[in-house]
Amino acid sequence: MGRLARLWARPRPRLLSLRTTFAVSFAAVTAAVTVLVGVLSYSAAARLVRVDQESVFDQVVQDLRDEVSQHRMAPEDFSSSAPGHDLVRPARTDVQVLGPTGAVADPGRPGLPVVSGDRRIAVAGPAGRMVLHKEVSVGSDVYRVATVSLGGGRGAVQVAQEFSDTEDLLRALQQRTFLLMVAVVVGAGLFGWWLARRITRRLVILTSAAEDVARTRRLGIEVPVTGYDEVGRLGRAFDRMLGRLAQSEEDQRRLVQDAGHELRTPLTSLRTNISLLRRIDELPPATREDLVADLTQEARELTDLVNELVDLAAGQSDNEPPQRVDLADLAEEVAGLARRRTGREIVVHAKGSTVTDGRPGMLQRALSNLVENAVKFDRDGTAPIEISVSGFTVAGPVRVEVLDRGPGIAEADLVRVFDRFYRAADARSLPGSGLGLSIVREVALSHGGAPFAFPREGGGAGIGFSVGGGAAGG
């Protein structure tokens, strides 16, 4: 355990930031590409230079061999003072003439070393015989030397090409290529760092905003992110997410406050009646029955209030999957259930396309609340309660209305009947919690629609909601 604790307490290596990772990666890729291109370019250039130099030397030697094979020539013909000697002395070549014995007759500049192989060529009979020395050191320089026989034992001609200066040139090219690669890599690293900083600056802002939210738990902060690329879209999505979370937090706070306020009245009444139960033996029989009836009614109202609060909370986070729903058939089911419960006549009118995408349980709950609300306010009515379901196009919204002949809704209450726990002045004496229509609003909004209420011509009210033609929202 002690060793495990020490390992756990050991400081973790700090992870590289996205900016550093991007800059290092950019520099590494650039370095790899630069090195590859530099090496390949230098190798190709060096090979071309060497091949070109060898080709020139081979051509000079071949011309010399052709000349001595076709013409009877003596060492004097290749003397540095003889006319026409430039034919065998192109730039960057050196010529040295050997006599019949292999001794130097006309030294080159610089003088070339003569070995036994060169002397044998000088005394050779056939013209054009050759011996090649690939690397001959002359002072601090290196030469490629070819010795060609003049034939008949008359001597030989040595042609030399210096290639150490070519190698010096290639080494200088190699050094410059290396310096260029280093400069490109350093420049790429600096550019990558600048580019990474420019790209990640808005990500840093988003990270700071997220850390501020986690630290302070304040959801109302503004995310200052602009642009229309992926980072800009992420910033706007993050800002919208914070806005919705803040709205959800506010809705929860209001729900808890409103629920606490509404629960005080029935709980106070229950507490008062329960205190009277201690003296129930002293009360007359009629008072006892009234007390028990009050307790039963208050318990029922409290149960209804709790159930509606649960329904409202569940409606905000319903996990029921959307599916194709025929609202006309759903209205018939709700109407049949309400007929059995209340004994009222309820009729359903359907027109147009009434099929849409939605969550059947939530939609049934909203329809039931509308019918129960109509029955409650039109308790003594004799006219049937009407449910109207209408759609205009196959993919368009569907409109659901519940019409009654009750007292109607005042103009000032039309915009507030869907608020939580709101009850009009003439409805406060009726049973209920004031949450039924609020649930209808939540269901409508979650399905891409909206609730509505209007006074019905001839008396009464019409309350309903619309459902969007697309899939139900979350």
Q: Which residues of 46-72 are buried (b: 16+ CB within 10 A; e: fewer)?
A: beebeeebeeebeebbeebbebbbeee
What is the Cα–Cα distance from 145 to 164, expressed in whole angstroms? 13
* Whether residues 342 and 451 fall in one domain: yes
* Whether residues 309 and 344 fall in one domain: no
Residue type, position 389, single letter = V
Which structural domain range is residue 450 located in?
Answer: 319-465
* Whether residues 247 and 234 fall in one domain: yes
Check if the beta carbon of residue 54 is closer than 8 Å to that of residue 48. Answer: no
Task: Give the Cβ contact number of residue 440 at 10 Å.
Answer: 27
Check if the beta carbon of residue 247 is closer than 8 Å to that of residue 312. Answer: no
* Whether residues 25 and 162 fall in one domain: yes
Q: In the prediction, which pLDDT does 418 show?
A: 77
Is 366 inside a domain boundary? yes
* Whether residues 260 and 330 fall in one domain: no
* Whether residues 407 and 425 fall in one domain: yes
CATH number at residue 304: 1.10.287.130
* Whether residues 367 and 297 fall in one domain: no
Closest by Cα among 101, 64, 65 to 85: 64
Is 139 inside a domain boundary? yes
Is 362 inside a domain boundary? yes
Domain boundary among 287, 315, 343: 315
Q: In the prediction, which pLDDT does 123 show?
A: 83
Q: In the prediction, which pLDDT does 464 show?
A: 92
Instruction: Give the chain's domain count.
Output: 3
Domain boundary among 295, 315, 335: 315
Question: Strands (DSSP E) along 109-263, which ranges?
Answer: 130-138, 141-149, 156-162
| List of residues 6+ apart from 373 with CB closer than 8 A | 402, 436, 437, 463
Q: In the prediction, which pLDDT does 470 show?
A: 44
* Whether residues 64 and 159 fall in one domain: yes
Reported residue count of the chain is 474
Note down pLDDT in tens along the chain; length 474 residues: 444 344 434 444 445 666 677 777 777 888 888 888 878 887 887 787 777 777 877 888 888 888 888 888 888 777 766 555 544 455 567 888 888 888 888 888 888 888 888 888 888 878 888 888 887 888 777 888 888 888 888 888 888 887 766 666 777 777 888 888 888 888 887 887 887 777 777 777 777 777 777 787 777 777 767 777 777 787 788 778 887 888 777 777 776 766 666 566 677 777 887 777 777 777 788 877 877 877 787 777 677 667 666 765 665 545 678 889 999 999 999 998 888 878 888 999 999 889 998 988 888 888 988 888 888 877 777 788 999 999 876 667 899 999 988 887 777 777 777 776 655 545 444 444 457 788 888 888 888 899 998 988 888 889 999 997 544 443
What is the Cα–Cα distance from 324 to 326, expressed in whole angstroms? 7
Instruction: Give ∠ CA 79-83-88 in degrees, rounded to 5.
Output: 65
* Whether residues 223 and 258 fall in one domain: yes
Is 213 inside a domain boundary? no
* Whether residues 240 and 330 fall in one domain: no
CATH number at residue 360: 3.30.565.10
Domain boundary among 288, 315, 342: 315
CA terminus-to-terminus distance, the chain:
48
Sheet holding 451-455, edge to edge: 346-351, 385-391, 398-403, 461-467, 451-455
Per-residue pLDDT reduced to its tens digit, 252-292: 777 676 666 656 667 777 788 777 777 777 778 887 787 78
Is 473 inside a domain boundary? no
Closest by Cα among 435, 436, 412, 441 to 424: 412
Q: Which residue has the tokens 């600096």?
A: 190
* Whether residues 143 and 36 fall in one domain: yes
Cis ω for the linkage preceding 110 (within 30 of 0) = yes
